[in-house]
A = this chain, B = another copy of it.
Amino acid sequence: MKEALPIGQAATQSGVKVPTIRYYEQIGLLPLPLRSEGNRRLYSESEMRRLAFIRHARELGFEVDAIRALLDLQDNPQRSCAEADVIARARLADVEHRIASLTALRKELRRMITACAGGSVSDCMVIETLAENSQLRSAKKG
């Protein structure tokens, strides 16, 4: 087992800023870490892993509550599979929707870059494309 890290090193290693780590602790995404004699936070390997997960999930646009749900799954492996299933399926649906939207956008961005290669912007259709796509869904999350 590796030695524990102070918050500054935890921040550097995870790419999550120091105040953000403290914020995650405050809202209960991270457990209260061990403290040194001088009252400083010390992060274990498993906490670092959890932190990396949170960071990545946030980058992907998951809300804190969704991340909390995923972490709960991990924390309670004995839990009924039905619960896990509901959470996982909801996340999956969300992820698939995001992938579909981003794939459509990627296509349009590629087209735009290609089209722009040799002239003015006047024939770029980003706005038209995205405006039309926006009819795909008519309501957002609750």
Known contacts A55-B134, A77-B121; A102 and B109 CB within 8 A of each other = no
Copies in the complex: 2
B89 and A124 within 8 A (CB): no
Give a binary string over A72-109; 1 marks a CB under 8 Å from any B CB, 0 the rest: 01101111010111001101100110110111011001
| Contact pick for A121, options B81, B95, B106, CB 8 Å | B81
Chain A positions near chain B (C-beta within 8 angstroms): 14-15, 49-50, 52-53, 55-57, 59-61, 70-71, 73-74, 76-79, 81, 83-85, 88-89, 91-92, 95-96, 98-99, 101-103, 105-106, 109-110, 112-113, 116-124, 126-128, 130-135, 137-140
